[in-house]
Amino acid sequence: MKNADLQARKNAATPRGVGVMCDFYAARAENAELWDVEGRRFIDFAAGIAVCNTGHRHPKIVEAIRAQLDCFTHTAYQIVPYESYVSLAEKISARAPGDHPKKTAFFTTGAEAVENAIKIARAATGRPGVIAFTGGFHGRTLMGMALTGKVAPYKIGFGPFPSDVFHAPFPNPLHGVSVEDSLRAIEQLFKADIEAKRVAAMIFEPVQGEGGFYQAPLEFVRALRKICNEHGILLIADEVQTGFARTGKLFAMQHYDVIPDLMTIAKSLAGGMPLSGVVGRAEIMDAAAPGGLGGTYAGNPLAVASAHAVLDIIDSEKLSERAVVLGDKLKAKLNALKSEVPQIADVRGPGGMVAVEFCKPGTSDGDVDFTKRVQTRALERGLLLLVCGVYGNVVRFLFPLTIQDAVFDEALAILEDVLTETIGATV
C-alpha cells in the first residue's frame, strides 16, 4: 500500500471541506510515535489535537476497552444505563474545581459539550445571550461556529449563525490588547448590544487552543467572575483542549482561585475514544427537563471505560507533574534559541501546553511563511507539529505526556535543527 495511491482515493472519495494536513496515512502508533503505511516513523507532537495526553494505545486503556467489549458495546445510556457512566460522573464531579455539589453529563464531541453547556445555561437563567471572546474556538456546529472568534477556516460560507452571541477581545499583550481593554469591551456590549440581564453566560478558554495558546490572566478571570456575579450571568470554562493534565493541573481552572459555574471537557478525557462532558453546579445542571440532554452515543460504554483508565494513568504516572517537567524543558530550549532565531516573538503556556509565536523581526506582525516552513521542514524530518493562531503564526506542542525521555530529546534536537536551518535559508 502506497501513500500516493491512498491520497488519490481520498481526493476522489471525500470532500475538500474535510481538511487533511498530512499526505501520508497512519498504519500503527505507540505512545508518542506513529508509522505510516510505507513504514516511515514520526514523532507525534500533535497527539490527535490534544486527544492522546496518555499516548497512543496505552496498555491500561487497551485493556479497559477490551474488557468492556466482552460485556456490551452499546445500550444508549438514556435507555438502559450502566454503572460505569455513573461512577465516571462521580469521579469527574469530585475532581472538578469547587467544593459545592456538582453533577456531570456525558456526550460525544467537544462541540456537543459546548452546545449542551449553552442549553443548560439558557435553561437555568431563562436568558438567551452569550458572550464569547475573539480567538476562541468552540467547535464546528452552528452554535460552536457562532461562539468561535476566528473566521478562517471555520466560518467561511456557513452563515447565518445563531443570534444573541457577542464577542469581546481576549487579552493579548503581544498584540496590544490589555485586560482593561477586554473588560471595557464587555461593558460596551452591555451598553450598545445586549443588556446584562439578557445574558445567560460568558464562555472562555482558560488557555485558548486554536487561537494561539494565550493564557487568560488571573485578573481577567477574576474580573469575569465578578461581572457574572453582579449580573446573574453563568461563567463557562471551556476545558475541551486544556483538560486532563495538559497544563500541569488536571483542569486549567485549577491554576486560578475562581470557580466556573459550568465546565466543558472532551479530547483527552477518553484517550482517543469519543467522549465529552459538561460538569457544573448541581442546581444548574438540573435546570434542563428530562430528555433535554443526551444523545444516542452520549457516554458510550467503550469510551467511558477508556476514561476510567485515563484518570488512573494520570494519577499513577503523575502526568500533571510530568507536563510541567516536559513543558519547562521545551520552553527552555525555545528561549535559548531566541538569539539565533529572531522570528521567535514569544514562548508561552502553562505545563505541557506550550506554544512559540513567530513574528517578523522587530515587529508584532505574524510571520506566517516562516511558521509554515518550520512545520514543513519538521515533518520532512519526522516530527509532527501543529500550527494555530488567528494569524496562523503559532506552533503549538501537544506531545503525549507519557512520551519517553529519549524520544522527547530526539524531538527537541530535530526542532532545534529545523529552526536554525529555516532561519539560515531566509537570511
Which CATH number is 73's domain given? Answer: 3.40.640.10
Q: Do 293 and 360 belong to one domain?
A: no
**How confident is the model at residue 115, as a pLDDT?**
98
Name, in order, each residue with C-beta under 8 angstroms of 360's C-beta and a sequence gap of 6 or more: 343, 366, 367
Q: Do 188 and 133 belong to one domain?
A: yes
Q: Do 208 and 324 belong to one domain?
A: no
Beta pairing partners, 165: 130
Number of domains the chain is built from: 2
Task: For 229-276, write each residue's pLDDT tens digit.
Answer: 999 999 999 999 999 999 999 999 999 999 999 999 999 999 999 999
**How confident is the model at residue 384, as a pLDDT?**
98
**How confident is the model at residue 134, as a pLDDT?**
97
Please give the order of strands across the beta sheet that includes 41-44: 26-30, 33-36, 41-44, 383-384
Q: Do 127 and 186 belong to one domain?
A: yes
The Cα 230–Cα 200 span in angstroms is 13
**How confident is the model at residue 68, as a pLDDT?**
98
Strands 129-133 and 199-204: parallel
Among 156, 248, 164, residue whose Cα is nearest residue 199: 164
Structural domain boundaries enclosing 91: 62-316
Beta pairing partners, 4: none
110, 264 contact by CB (below 8 A):
yes
Q: Three cell numbers at 232?
A: 446573574
269, 277 contact by CB (below 8 A):
yes
Report the pLDDT averaged over residues 384-395. 95
Beta pairing partners, 33: 30, 43
Task: For 309-360, write each residue's pLDDT tens digit.
Answer: 999 999 999 999 999 999 999 999 999 999 999 999 999 999 999 999 999 9
Max distance between CA atoms of the chain, in angstroms, equals 65
| Residue whose C-alpha cell is 427537563 | 289
Q: Do 251 and 323 belong to one domain?
A: no
pLDDT value at 427 more than 80: no
Q: Do 97 and 161 belong to one domain?
A: yes
Please give the sequence-ordered ranges of beta strands (E in DSSP) within 270-419, or none if there are none: 276-281, 344-348, 354-358, 383-384, 386-388, 394-397
**Collapsed DSSP state (helix, strand, coil) of residue 347:** strand
Q: How confident is the model at residue 426 (pLDDT cuts 50, 70, 90)?
A: low
Q: Which of 266, 293, 316 delimits the end of a domain? A: 316
Q: How confident is the model at residue 152 (pLDDT cuts 50, 70, 90)?
A: confident
Q: Which of 267, 298, 316 delimits the end of a domain? A: 316
Strands 129-133 and 386-388: unpaired
Q: Do 209 and 227 belong to one domain?
A: yes
- CATH code, domain with 417: 3.90.1150.10
Percent of the chain with pLDDT over 70: 99
Q: Which of 298, 316, 334 delimits the end of a domain? A: 316
Q: Do 153 and 221 belong to one domain?
A: yes
Within 10 angstroms of residue 244's Cβ, the number of other Cβ atoms is 30
Q: Do 39 and 102 belong to one domain?
A: no
Beta pairing partners, 168: 133
**C-alpha distances in angstroms, 268 versus 53, 313, 422, 427?**
6, 12, 32, 40
Task: For 21-45, write each residue's pLDDT tens digit.
Answer: 999 999 999 999 999 999 999 999 9
